[in-house]
Structure 1
Amino acid sequence: MNLFVKVFLFCIPTIIAANSYAQKTEIGLLLGGSYYYGDIVNTNRIQTQTIGPAGGVFLRKHLNKRTCFRANFMYARIGAADSNLVDKKSAFQESRNLAFYADLFELSGVVEYNLILDYNKARRIVNRAIPYVYGGLGLFYFEPKAIHPITGNPVNLRPLKLDGSTYSPIAIAFPIGAGIRYYLNRNWQLGFDIGIRFTTTSHLDDIAGDSRYANPATLPSEDAKIMLDRSVGGINSSGGTQRGKLNFITDIYAIGGVTLTYRLWPYGLGRAFRGAAISCPRFY
């Protein structure tokens, strides 16, 4: 978890840096869904059964009219099952019959680039709808689980080493995405944001692309032996057979949803949201 602390400390100086946009700082909420691409979902066709809930909070710091820095804390539930294949064309996956779900907790920082200038002229919002694109860096924590076929209880898969490998529950994410936000007034914005996260792990689903089933004799428990082979007919019980499918790409997840944003210093308190302009009181 020390990596999360380091990323957070990296974000702080940018967020609180003093400049002409010192009061253009906003806090926001995202509510929406998540999607996963890996060894189970690996086609271009959307599998609706794979869409899970997602949400989070973020802090946006306007650096100038074109760019912003955004720090995010996001949650997503991802999951998939070989039995839910859309096209039913993979005999390997149908027979393999693996399934998983995982809760992801992400801390990230991204730089947004506004495709339209974001500023006020006196009391008038010049452009209410601001489309943007972004990219950045983050860390996330995940712990893949599956349902025990006998007890029906969730089982943490990582400690079982079902493919004979050890991996960390913390990985790096490279978020890229796009969105649009609309000024309801000078303090509130409503928007939509969607981003894809390329990752450094192939184990979101507990299946490495080039992995093979572990030897049952090397597994730590009886539950591990039960969870090892969920294939139709138990054809992989002896270990050593192919388990993964994709060996050329790491796993990917996406988060998208509706955003609601509020200025931390509402318009009318102190310096207004007007670029470099400062309004002076009138006495007539």
Structure 2
Amino acid sequence: MLNRVLLILGITISLGTNAQDLRSLGSKEFGVGLGNFYYLGELNQEHFNAITPGLQLSYRINITRRIGFNFNLGFGEIEGADSLSNIDWNRNRNLHFRSKIQEFGVLFEINYFEYQLGNKKFPFSPYLYFGLSAFHFNPQALTDDGANYRDLQPIGTEGQNFEGGSPYKLFNFAVPFGVGIRVNVVKNLGITLFTGMRRTYTDYLDDVSSVYSNPDFFAEEDRQFVDRSIDPAREDGTNTGLERGNNRNKDWYNHTGFMLSFKIQKKRNMCPAWYAN
């Protein structure tokens, strides 16, 4: 499988490279972007809902005018709340969370047209991207009195700390993919508009995945995070063993925004005249 991927990548680079492209081989860009994050999971099922601001930094290496690799850092926050749902069952569950997101991604980007930052002949192009990222998250929820936030993973709200269970990991991987458009503004400065999803490999971005645990297993100050339902289903006033989330689907999150890109200038020398734009 790896050999096939490398072969396809090699063919793509070969097809995307011609004599004129040699001038853009290895050119580099630095980018700073602002935008927003949102997530999809048990506590939010709608796109572009419960959005929060975010920041992105990128370092892009252009292989040709059509393809390149982007190394980026993203910082933001995701959140969700059953109180915002239009589903009665969700509102009765009455859970909420917030979580900061820090991600590092390596993206393979493909321009639809030839594009080169600072070159008037190739001023804009739509593009698509996909890759792999690693990220850190840490879901939190407010105490019942609204005084402060508590980290949820150490509590093990669904019984992860009991009966041979183990806490979920706060570091995870995702597959990012999306689209955008990049446009030259002035010499060596461009702007990029982008949106993309992250398909994660965890169902605990929101600390909700499986079934209710028995509140009696927890310290008194932790029980409020285990079952916050308005009208519990069992006669004992709990939901022990009943569905709390849906562990058949993993959580997703999105990053949408714009980025200013700056061309990193090469040191000039007297020999290769073809380096000039």
Q: Distance in 2 between matches of 1:204 and 1:36?
A: 8
Question: Within 5 A, what are the aligned runs for 1:1-284?
Answer: 21=24, 24-42=27-45, 45-46=46-47, 48=49, 50-85=50-85, 88=86, 90-119=87-116, 125-165=120-160, 166-208=167-209, 211-219=210-218, 221-235=219-233, 237=238, 239-244=240-245, 246-265=246-265, 269-270=267-268, 277-279=274-276
- Does structure 2 conserve the Cα–Cα contact (< 8 Å) formed by 1:161 and 1:214? no
Structure 1 gap ranges (5+): 1-18
Q: Distance in 1 between matches of 2:35 and 2:276?
A: 39
Q: Distance in 2 between matches of 1:119 and 1:126?
A: 8
Q: Distance in 1 between matches of 2:80 and 2:193?
A: 25
Structure 2 gap ranges (5+): 1-21, 161-166
Q: Distance in 2 between matches of 1:137 and 1:29?
A: 20
Match of 2:154, SS state, is helix
By how many angstroms is 1:216 displaced? 1.8
- Does structure 1 conserve the Cα–Cα contact (< 8 Å) formed by 2:23 and 2:276? no
Q: Distance in 1 between matches of 2:276 and 2:80?
A: 56
By how many angstroms is 1:237 displaced? 2.9
- Does structure 1 conserve the Cα–Cα contact (< 8 Å) formed by 2:200 and 2:250? yes
Q: Distance in 1 between matches of 2:113 and 2:183?
A: 12
Matching residue of 1:8: none
Q: Distance in 2 between matches of 1:198 and 1:152?
A: 33
Matching residue of 1:7: none
Match of 1:160, SS state, is coil
1:54-108 CA-to-partner distances (Å, cap 9, x unmatched) read 11101011011210100010012100100011xx2x2211110100010000001
Q: TM-score normalized by structure 2?
A: 0.82
Q: Distance in 2 between matches of 1:127 and 1:279?
A: 14
Q: Distance in 2 between matches of 1:30 and 1:131?
A: 17
By how many angstroms is 1:234 displaced? 4.8
Q: Percent identity?
A: 28
Quote the RMSD (CA, aligned, Å).
2.3
- Does structure 2 conserve the Cα–Cα contact (< 8 Å) formed by 1:216 and 1:238? no
